[in-house]
């Protein structure tokens, strides 16, 4: 197990896995998106290892430029962002992609905010300020559900549990889907998972009754061709995961959910096919 691995943050079966989206439905699902270039890298994790600089494996950070081991809701809200939506001062991070001992610098990330599969868009609530969410399993030794963590080429709809060989025009992308049901009480939990769950068949479980936006977080890398020799800082390519710390300007987040998700509108498109 790599030094600083997110030990103990494995899959919680109570979270389940989301339903796979209907083929070809991506462009029809009400949503809004935020595009965020790569910000910085460090061996910090303010959710799993708060106030412990260097305790984690290496992560790549997007969005808030101040994210570090000591980040709080207040510090993030006061920080600046690399995202194309200036009111998105949230923090997003994922394990660094490595080729041997060299980190592959990400090209960008895209955060898609949408209702879970089959969820009534009008019931979706904004994340509460300071909500912390982890998705994927940093300790995975077997393939994770591609409904949670998937590898694909460019904006393609194909999902694989391991990186495919991608053409230069459609570079490698990791897609992590976050749980969309909240218990309505806790901003975090001891295992960083129990306060959240995935919806299934268009409904949230009774213990997690609050439907929130389902974040689908995409990281794009300048990688094409043979993927052999790649690994993640958390371990093998099976250990894909990502973290989200909500520090949006709350009024703007509420407005985006109302204007796009509640009104069943697709707001914005990513720049280019990559």
Per-residue pLDDT tens digits for 112-131: 999 999 999 999 999 999 99
Q: Judge whether residue 15 has pLDDT over 90.
A: no
The CA R_g of the chain, rounded to the nearest whole Å, is 17
Mean pLDDT of 180-185: 98
Give the separation between CA 15 and CA 32, rounded to whole angstroms.
24
Mean pLDDT of 174-186: 97
pLDDT at 227: 95
Residue 271 binned pLDDT confidence (cut-offs 50, 70, 90)? very low
Per-residue pLDDT tens digits for 188-225: 999 999 999 999 999 999 999 999 999 999 999 999 99
Report residue 120 as tokens: 């009534």
DSSP readout, 129-175?
TT-EEEEE-TT-SSPPPTTTEEEEETT-S--BSSPPPB-TTS-EEEE
pTM for the complete prediction?
0.91
Q: Select the more confidently predicted residue: 209 or 19.
A: 209
- Range among 12-16, 153-157, 217-221 rated most confident: 217-221
pLDDT at 28: 75
Residue 17 binned pLDDT confidence (cut-offs 50, 70, 90)? confident
Q: CB count, 10 Å around CB of 41?
A: 16
Q: Judge whether residue 85 has pLDDT over 80.
A: yes
Residue 92 and residue 136 in contact, taking contact as beta carbons nearer than 8 Å:
no
């Amino acid at each position: 197990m790599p030094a600083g691995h997110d030990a103990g943050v494995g899959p919680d079966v109570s979270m389940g896995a989301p339903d796979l989206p209907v083929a070809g439905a991506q462009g029809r699902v009400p949503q809004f998106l935020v595009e965020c270039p790569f910000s910085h890298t460090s061996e910090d994790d303010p959710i799993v290892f708060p106030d412990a600089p260097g305790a984690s494996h290496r992560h790549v950070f997007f969005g808030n430029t101040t994210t570090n081991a000591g980040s709080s809701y207040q510090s993030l809200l006061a920080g600046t962002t690399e995202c194309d939506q200036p009111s998105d001062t949230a923090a997003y991070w994922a394990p660094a992609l490595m080729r041997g001992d060299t980190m592959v610098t990400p090209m960008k990330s895209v955060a898609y905010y949408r209702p879970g599969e089959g969820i009534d868009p009008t019931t979706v609530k904004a994340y509460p300020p300071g909500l912390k969410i982890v998705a994927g399993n940093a300790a995975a030794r077997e393939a994770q559900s591609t409904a949670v963590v998937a590898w694909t080429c460019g904006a393609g709809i194909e999902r694989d549990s391991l990186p495919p060989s991608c053409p230069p025009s459609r570079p490698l992308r990791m897609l992590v889907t976050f749980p969309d049901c909240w218990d309505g009480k806790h901003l975090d939990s001891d295992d960083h998972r129990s306060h959240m769950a995935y919806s299934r068949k268009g409904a949230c479980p009774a213990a997690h009754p609050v439907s929130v936006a389902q974040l689908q977080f995409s990281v794009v890398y300048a990688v094409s061709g043979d993927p052999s020799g790649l690994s993640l800082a958390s371990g093998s390519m099976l250990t894909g995961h990502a973290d989200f710390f909500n520090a949006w300007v709350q009024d703007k987040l509420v407005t985006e959910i109302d204007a796009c998700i509640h009104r069943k509108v697709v707001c914005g498109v990513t720049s280019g096919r990559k």
